[in-house]
Structure 1
Amino acid sequence: MPTQARDDTAEISPGLQPGPAVSSFADVLAVVQRLQPSSPLMLDAILRCLGYVDRDLETAATASRSARSSVSGSSATMAAGQATPLRRREHDQTSQSASRKPVPSLFAMEGGSSEPPQWLYETVAFHAPEIFRPAYRQKIEPLLDPRRSRAILQMISSRRMRVGPLDIRDITRHAAQQKPLARLPRLPAETLRSGVQLLIDIGPSMEPFSQDTNALVIDVMSIVGAGAEIRYFRACPLRGVLDAETGLTVRYDPPPQGRPVLVATDLGIGGALGGLPRSRPAEWRMFGDTLRRRGSAVTVLVPYPQRRLPTWSPATLRVLGWDRSLSVRAVRHPSRGR
């Protein structure tokens, strides 16, 4: 005589007991009903993905038959015998290789081969979630004031060219003199069309400011776009820059004629660290003279206050203190202070 179907959770609870932070029985039944496993082997894989592992083969078989009968509405009762609760798989943090082993088969195919399918050997066990803890308890504030950092970088990366509105005075003068215009004269204006070359010092003395240099690269690329040329160096660009593909040190090539150059470095203020000699003033003078002959304006951001900036900086380099006091006014007129 068929018995009355029981509640789903009551049907499966003798064979499946959740451990800490394991999926609920409602989730198990919902997944099984959705996927409709055709064999105990597939059901075993589903239970493992949800965090259940059996202690005994008979217990697992009993639990699988119970789950299938509950989902399909069958009136079959639980198999005889005391069921051993299943436990949550514990993540072995001491052995990383163990987590890469394929999930073994715990069920035999009924009426067929006991060889599990190939995909089961390629399945990787899930890792227990790891709690992420930041390296610092408090957020590190950026060197530049976020409210004006974009305006500052745009001012540094721009170049003054005759791309503004039409120069009506010049056009009128040519017309009065009855001279033809080869091209329409325009007023000078700041523009980013020349692009910018960004040089980032990645020497040991600049490691404390790596978060700010990374943010500087992102901000400059978002402002200038494809015209941003990024190069990395140690101590001074004249000693060589890193090749983007090989990572080897290659000769520094100046930018095209007139392209602005932005350098993020400490100019040797941080000292000689990691066996790397600090940059010398003569190197930076030569660097500034080389770019001045090509018509490139060079701006150097030094991650120290204004009072720490070197007094030997040549006139060919516009040296600015990279801190919260830097403003657009100081970038436009360095001699007028902050």
Structure 2
Amino acid sequence: MTYVGHSASAAEPSTTSDEGGETDKATFKDVVAAYVGLTKPRVIELLLLTTVPVMFFAARGIPELSLVLWTVLGGALSAGSASAYNCVYDRDIDEQMRRTKRRALPRHVVTPVSALVFATVLAVLSTVVLWTQVNELSALLSLGANAFYVFVYTMLLKRRTTQNIVWGGIAGCFPTLIGWTAVTGQLAWEPVVLFMVVFFWTPPHTWALALRYREDYANVDVPMLPVVAPAAVVGRQIVIYSWVMVATSLLLWPVADTGWFYPVVATILGAVFLVEAHRMWGRTKRSNDLTDIAPMRLFHNSNLYLSLLFVAVAIDPLLR
């Protein structure tokens, strides 16, 4: 499982060295923290939040605890692997961006070769865990998400198109499928709807962050939409995707024949999100200044929206 997302590095050691080797001044604790940082733990947390609730939904109740634990472990290893691969490939631009320059590779606490080996080991372990302890379909979906994130998003789309996050975000939708197949062993329309919710959620979430760091992306020639388009255009696109996201979230009600709890929560959360998206769009039409636009408000709101929506996905079958 993987996710096209953004978080601060967990490792910020105070020493550096040249590209040729790991620093001899960093402590063991610094190096361990650096490897943990390569996995982008905050991204893993959000991924698992879209995996476990779907398992409850698929089980129409509480799934087997051991199955949840193995799925979480395999998913975390896969997401960590994809993030580490991403850190290796993007180390050149990470060195130049304020948001990422304190990650392990730009600070040379870990060598690119060591990080590459680390990412590969995590990928192998993830596949073995999911294949042997969950099922083959979940393992293949996880491996496919990892490959999509690394080869399609990171290597092909990110530096070439303003639609990088739209299509690259597909990788972050796979946890909904993996959580479902872990329980049922097969795909169905219910997880596909949730897959699409995450797909339409990703652009508003990421473009809000990219607005905040648009100068960083511009300096390294990454054509995120906020870099190449006026803020008002970005705001309009965010509103469009937000409306489609909310409509898609409500589609789960008839498709899955949910109880009353999920559609009520989805409606309330969607209304709040749409109000915030429209407010930000209004601010972008009045000003191009980041202080006035306050894009991080929508970014944090998007995290809360997705978290609470999937909590509702887990709770709904328990109330029935």
Q: TM-score range by the shorter chain?
A: under 0.3
Specify which structure has the higher proportion of helix: 2
Q: TM-score, normalised by structure 2?
A: 0.24
TM-score in terms of structure 1 length: 0.23
Q: Highest relative contact order (Cα 8 Å, sep 6+), 1 or 2?
A: 2
Q: Bigger radius of gyration, 1 or 2? A: 1
